[in-house]
Amino acid sequence: MKEWLRSLFSGFEREAWVRFFLALFGLTLAFGCAVLSTVTRRAGNVIATGVFASLALLLAGLIAITTVPYLARRVAISRVRDAFDYDVPRQGVVYMLLVLVVGIAALNTGNNLLFIIVSAMLAAILVSGIASAGVLRGLELDASIPDHLFAGSSVQGRITLRNTRRVPSFSVSVVPPKSKSAERHWRWKRSTFTFPPDRPPERQWVRWPDLWLQLVRVAAPENSIFTGAVYFPFLPSRASVGAEVQLKFEKRGRYRQEAFGVSTRFPFAFLTKTRRMALAREVIVYPSVEPTDEFFEVLPMITGEFEAFVRGRGHDLYRIREYMPEDSARHVDWKATAKSMALKVREFTREDERKLRIVFDNPAPGAVPEKAYESAVALAASLGWHFAAEPTDLTFAAPGFSNSDVYGFLRYLALVRPASERSVLDDLDVTDDYNVVITARPRGSLPTQLWTSSYFIFMEQR
């Protein structure tokens, strides 16, 4: 018994239990005052009756205002979380109109057969509600989403629905939860009751804590993961059924979904009943790494300057040039020499020192247009993705970020927004790496030590 009580109390807040028992005590006092008001009324004491009745009403109203909303917000029962939403389709509206017509005819004529028909039609609605609720009970949902997602690319997700009951379920659809954009809700707000209200606080006679209702506008999350519907015609008992879902995210960023919906119209389609199931999912969508026109324009120039920066002994041919006295004879290209009738040597890239660093210098808000900013983010992601597949020692640098993991850099770019912070170029260490710098700073304000070992890509200014 003690362990049960301990587990019961551990699931709730201490303050909630205190308010609960205070509410019970207050209701007991209110009930006692109500009983006393009845006794004094029968005794003929009008003043005492009014006092006890007023106290009973005051105590009940105070508990209703201060305690009931507080406890209601902390209800953590699964049946309340997995609540049902109801929608009436067109056929349901038509059926209800028919029930109304037959019901009016039965009342006007007093015909017993019509009453029997109305009863059967109403019973069909009741049976439909009970059957649809039974179909949705006992279902468990799981959603699998790939780890790495890119904007503009389609990926395959998977929805798995498990029936834990001993009986099968029919005609079940997995749908996104109902849109709650621009919904209005009444919310309790804390305030202070003052009298007289137009006086300064130190000259007011009464200052009591107060609560008042305010209509607030609650906006739904902008980015949702699942927007389609998956239909399962039949779910066997104690079995799981899965289906592939095509997912596509148009923009980079964070996508989150707190719940999914499981709906059915079984058995008569009079009502669409949807059970909200709490299943939180969050994904980070990387910027698109598909080559763009800007990418194809800058890549040859970056590659050329990078190869010139790292030329040396290696296996990849860099160029064929004229022979110089300090060159080794084993690098002579005899075929090119025979064609040109002059000594030619091969020059190779220095593969063991192909170090490249991609630097994203995040601009301040308003420094560049939004379209230009998104293009710069996508270009940085495309360059990082391209050179990660090459035999290159690749690192990344950005404000608050320094790593060699390409997925970490893509995650940074997925969530980055213009920010007023110190430029990463001012704290950039001078190393043997060749730098590809994406920045919005003017040319004259760039550190001079980076000019010899960097290729700059400038964002479009406003």
Which of the following CATH numbers is that of domain 79-182+219-286: 3.40.50.10320, 1.20.1250.20, 2.60.40.10, 1.20.1250.40? 2.60.40.10
What is the Cα–Cα distance from 355 to 394, expressed in whole angstroms?
A: 6
Helices (H) and strands (E) in the chain, counts: 11, 18
Parse the chain into domains and list their residue ranges: 2-76, 79-182+219-286, 183-218, 293-310+354-458, 311-351
Of residues 353, 355, 345, the one with CA closest to residue 314? 353
Q: What is the DSSP string of 329-389?
A: GGGB-HHHHHHHTS-EEEEEB-GGG-EEEEEE-PPPTTSS-HHHHHHHHHHHHHHHHHHHT
What is the Cα–Cα distance from 224 to 413, expressed in whole angstroms?
A: 20
Q: How would you classify residue 171: left for phi > 0, otherwise alpha for psi between -120 and 50, otherwise beta?
A: left
Give the strand order in the sheet containing 401-403.
Answer: 401-403, 393-398, 355-360, 434-439, 454-458
The length of the chain in residues reads: 462
Residue-level pLDDT, tens digit, the chain, 462 residues: 444 445 444 444 566 677 778 888 888 888 888 888 888 888 888 888 888 888 877 887 777 777 766 666 555 444 444 567 778 888 888 888 888 888 888 877 878 888 888 888 888 888 888 888 888 888 989 988 888 999 988 889 899 999 998 889 888 999 887 765 445 566 667 777 777 777 787 777 777 776 666 666 655 555 778 888 899 999 999 999 999 988 888 899 999 888 888 999 888 888 888 888 888 888 999 999 988 888 878 888 777 777 666 555 445 666 777 877 767 666 778 788 888 888 887 776 555 457 889 999 999 888 889 999 999 999 999 999 998 888 788 999 999 888 889 999 999 999 999 988 888 888 888 777 888 889 888 888 888 878 778 888 888 765
pTM more than 0.75: no
Cβ atoms of residues 355 and 433 within 8 Å = yes
